[in-house]
Amino acid sequence: MCGIIGYIGKRQAAPIIFDGLKRLEYRGYDSAGMAIFDGSNGVQIKKDIGLVDDINKRLNFLSMQGNIGIGHTRWATHGGVTQTNAHPHISNNKKILVIHNGIVENYQELLTMLKENGFTFYSETDTEIIPNLIEFEMRKGKDFEHAAIDAIKQFDGYCAVLAMFEGERKIVAARNGSPLVVGVGNGENFIASDIPAFLEHTKNVIYIHDSDFVVLDSNRVKFFNLEDGKEVGRPLHSIDWDIEQAKKGNFDHFMMKEISEQVQTVKSAANQDKEILFEIADEMKKAKGVFLVACGSSYHACLTASYLFSKITKLHINVVLGSEFSNYENFLTPGTLVIAVSQSGETIDVLDAVKTARQKGSKVMSLVNVVGSSLHRNSDRALMLNAGPEICVLSTKTYTAQLTVLALLAYTIAGKYDEGKKNLEYLWNIIYNLTAANTRKYLMKLAEELKDKNHIFTIGRGLQFPTSLEAALKIKEVSYIHAEGFSGGELKHGTIALIEQGTPCIVFSSKENEKEIISNAMEIKARGGYIIGIDSKKNKDVFDFFIKVPDVGDLNPIIQIIPIQILSYQLAVLRGCDPDKPRNLAKSVTVK
């Protein structure tokens, strides 16, 4: 959700925070703001609704002077999209500034208490509670740090908080459930929701744990436990991400750049630590029940994996949405293995599922893209996706990376690790061709035909069924065309009633299910449907538009989704949508 960044050091803070906010735009937002502290002139705040660049043109963020500051991109939860509700928020005494991601669940109770003690509120947000609660605690004679600790301990809910006090040269922070990470520099320090916000300046990071309270100055970062106030140690990590991966380069949008990177990311995903891979494979074989838990595209990857595990290993796998996992808690035992899958490692529904598993004594493994993320830290073992930063809100390269790791895990369980590696290596040239300029040009013809359609349906059977779900998700979340994915066998159970003359239907076909799925396609065509076939060979009698993708058997899901990723991008561009920042969506869903 919201994006947070803070800086303290020797340089001017405004350009660093402004660039950081730009790099956090992928998280989704409707307003933005900055607060910069200058020792001689006090604190200056600028904030408004709209895009960071547009606000800068109106207010000139870069004119703000000072070398300590905080910045925020807000997605409205409490209160509408207004300049007043934008962050940062300031205390009644005009000395304490706060930015915040999350929800203060006991907002009404605290609001009433503060009003009874003479505080006035100007916004509709729950965030304005926080600076005033810190001021309230400071009125009791506490210093800024202890007042902030005691204030934060009073409110309920998942959150990430940054605060500054005009009288002190420091930034304090706390987290519970919402991500925060520190970037350690030379005579300067950074803090943000995500690493790309400061990756240009440092690759040395410290991950903030739940219930951590952090104090940053130019030269030190101190960590304390919120509950007992004792100082704690947190390890320093060096990130191997390349800053160029977090830049668009010659591409117009991150989405297309990241689609084009899939040759490399599939290679990297297949290059797993064999010791960890084989250990997780052994745990899966001996577990008394295995659950794959994920949300969104990651859930579709897990659903695909359940088919793969059944085919390759004869192993039964339960696949559950993170938000629904608590309904399965009575099946969990110390012998159960839960494998959580998440790009960011900060998806709140997945983290809640992990907590449920822990409470039942179950083992937890994970597939994740971010070392040191909450999921990574809370797993007994983790396999890394190795996809590098994914800036676009939509999952593309991390989706195929997840499929790659899960497929390799299935081969490993079956005692076919070398065969799995060889099969994955065979995909590289295919992916290169599928992401090449001539393929994109060919698919643009289809995008032109579909851009004004109101509905698109996708169907598949077997391994192609989860692919049809992911294809529909990609289309609707970026182009805003209504799209739905179905098993081909379910058409006659209701969906075929929606088919009209010219209704587009994307059909995922393979040698394994060709007979059945082509029969389903013919049923749609007989009712006026426009059939787009994805297959290794063209069926002239059925396909109105043909997308050729070589048949690679069990690994078809990795490559068959790629043309639809490209098509979705092109539909978004043609319809005037921003592919990198779809409306109402966030990269990492960190609130319920």
Q: Provide the total of helices (H) and of strands (E) in the chain, helices listed first.
A: 18, 25
Asked if 422 and 407 touch (Cβ cutoff 8 Å), the reply is no
The answer to whether 268 touches 300, Cβ cutoff 8 Å, is no
At CB < 8 A and 24+ separation, what contacts does 374-378 make? Answer: 374/177, 374/179, 374/209, 374/210, 374/345, 374/346, 375/340, 375/342, 375/345, 375/346, 375/347, 375/350, 375/351, 376/345, 377/207, 377/209, 378/351, 378/354
Nearest to 579 by CA among 391, 301, 370: 391
- Distance from CA of residue 341 to its chain's centroid? 11
Structure tokens that stand for 386 in this block: 């190795």
- Inter-residue contact 544 to 532 (CB < 8 Å): yes
Pick the catalytic residue: 285, 581, 587, 592? 587
Q: Please state, as a whole number, how many other Cβ atoms lie within 10 Å of the Cβ of residue 542.
A: 19
Query: Exposed, middle or buried, 92 (CB in 10 Å: 0-12/13-18/19+)?
Result: middle
Among residues 22, 125, 7, 13, which one has the least CA distance to residue 63? 13
Q: Output b/e per residue, 112-127; b: 16+ Cβ within 10 A.
A: eebeeeebeeebebbb
Q: Is 2 a catalytic site residue? A: yes
Distance CA 274, CA 289 (A): 23
Label residues 354-369 b or e (16+ Cβ within 10 Å = b).
Answer: bebbeeeebbbbbbbb
Number of alpha carbons in the 13 Å side-chain half-sphere of residue 465: 18
Rounded Cα gap, residues 146 and 401, in angstroms: 44
Is 587 tagged catalytic?
yes
Q: Which of 2, 159, 295, 392 is catalytic?
A: 2
Enclosing H/E stretch for 533: strand 530-535
CA angle 525, 527, 528 (to 5 degrees): 65
Between the alpha carbon of residue 327 and those of residues 350, 375, 500, the distances in Å are 14, 20, 39
Name the token pair of 255.
Answer: 């989405």
- CB within 8 A of 327, min separation 6: which ones? none
Radius of gyration over alpha carbons of the chain, in Å? 25
Q: Is 545 helix (H, G, I), strand (E, B) or coil?
A: strand
* CA–CA distance, 128 with 6 (Å, rounded to integer): 18
Question: Which residues are annotated as catalytic?
Answer: 2, 587
